[in-house]
């Protein structure tokens, strides 16, 4: 088990809905371990399977972000969330600053449901039901969104959305220019080798 490469925006795979986990076996534990290792090596608070290229309804969260939830029986200091369901319990909103390991150098204030009831399974297939509020609720919703093909940038509105979209466009243009430059250098180097 090792840290995997992160899938980055604007990869279309981040916009796909994840498939439900059916088998709670050794292969699930391997994916969970890869998620934990990748999250830890990238100093993340949580990480969804889709962010490492695995289209399973699964994510991990550091226990200090959701202290109301029990840590997983197989992974120390981590909550493993499989096939989550969320029920909103309040119309009140909790606004806080969010970022994402799949969206480099962007953060923004996001409105989340302040109080939710969650139901999910841990890596052993045991059902967990709990009520989360404020930052715990927001953290859980952020990771759950990944399983629905959404990122925090899709939850923005108004001026904030416009500013973030502008930043993302600039980054995309810069990345394309860098890729073209690398390709051009590679082609020049291959021509020199042939001579």
| Residue 186 shares a structural domain with residue 103 | no
**Alpha carbon distance 95, 147 (integer Å):** 21
Same domain? For 139 and 68 the reply is: yes
Tokens 């291959």 correspond to 190
Q: What is the DSSP string of the chain?
A: --PPPPP-TT-GGGGSPPBPP---SHHHHHHHHHHHHHHHHTT-SEEEGGGGT--BSEEEEEGGG-TTSPPPSSSTTEEEEEEEEEEE--S-EEEEEEEETTEEEEEEEEEEESEEEEEEE-TTS-EEEEEEEHHHHHHHHHHHHHHTT--GGGG--HHHHHHHHHHHHHHHHHHHHHHHHHHHHHHHHHHHHH-
Gap between the Cα atoms of 28 and 18, Å rounded: 14
**Residue 73, domain CATH:** 3.90.45.10
Does 36 fall in a domain? yes
46 and 138 belong to one structural domain? yes
**Residue 173 domain-assigned (yes or no):** yes
Question: How far apart (Å, rounded) are the C-alpha atoms in residues 17 and 147?
Answer: 6
Residue 2 located in a structural domain: no
Could you tell me if 48 and 123 lie in one domain?
yes
The set of residues, in sequence order, having a beta carbon less than 8 Å from that of 54 and lying 6+ positions away, is: 31, 34
Say whether both 139 and 168 belong to one domain: no
Residue 189 has pLDDT above 80, yes or no: no
Assess whether 115 and 166 both reside in one domain. Answer: no
The answer to whether residues 73 and 21 belong to one domain is yes
Residues 143 and 184 in one domain: no
Same domain, 28 and 104: yes
Let me know whether 122 and 61 are in one domain: yes
The Cα 86–Cα 103 span in angstroms is 24
Residue 6 inside a domain? The answer is no
- Please check whether residue 164 lies inside any domain of the structure: yes
Span 133-165, pLDDT tens digits: 999 999 999 999 999 999 999 999 888 888 888
Active-site annotation holds for 133: no
pLDDT band for position 176 (50/70/90)? confident
Q: Bridge-partner residues for 87, per DSSP?
A: 117
Residue from 87, 97, 98, 143 carrying the catalytic annotation: 143
**pLDDT value of position 195:** 58
Question: Residue 192 has what pLDDT?
Answer: 62
Give first-to-last CA distance, the chain, whole Å. Answer: 44
Host domain of residue 169: 158-195
Total domains present in the chain: 2
Q: Which residue has the tokens 């399974």?
A: 121
pTM as predicted: 0.87
- pLDDT tens digits, 97-116: 999 999 998 999 999 999 99
- Residue 4 maps to a domain: no
pLDDT in tens, 48-61: 999 999 999 999 99
Question: How would residue 1 be classed by pLDDT, with cut points 50, 70 and 90?
Answer: low
| 182 and 151 housed in the same domain | no
Determine, yes or no, domain membership for 7.
no
Specify if 124 maps to a domain. Answer: yes
């Amino acid at each position: 088990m090792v840290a995997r490469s992160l899938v980055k925006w604007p990869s279309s795979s981040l916009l796909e809905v994840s498939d439900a986990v059916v088998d709670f076996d050794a292969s699930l534990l391997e994916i969970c371990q890869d998620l934990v290792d990748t999250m830890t090596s990238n100093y993340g608070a949580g990480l969804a399977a889709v962010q490492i290229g695995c289209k399973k309804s699964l994510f991990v969260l550091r226990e200090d972000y959701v202290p109301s939830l029990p840590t997983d029986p197989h992974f120390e200091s981590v909550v493993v969330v499989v096939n989550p369901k969320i029920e909103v319990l309040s119309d009140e909103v909790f606004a806080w600053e969010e970022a994402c390991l799949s969206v480099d150098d962007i953060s923004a204030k996001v409105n989340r449901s302040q109080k939710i009831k969650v139901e999910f399974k841990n890596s052993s297939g045991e059902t967990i039901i709990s009520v989360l509020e404020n930052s715990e609720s927001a953290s859980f919703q952020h990771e759950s969104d990944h399983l629905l093909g959404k990122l925090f940038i899709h939850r923005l509105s108004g001026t904030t959305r416009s500013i973030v979209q502008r930043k993302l466009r600039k980054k995309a243009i810069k990345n394309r220019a860098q890729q073209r430059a690398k390709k051009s250098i590679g082609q020049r180097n291959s021509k020199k080798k042939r001579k």
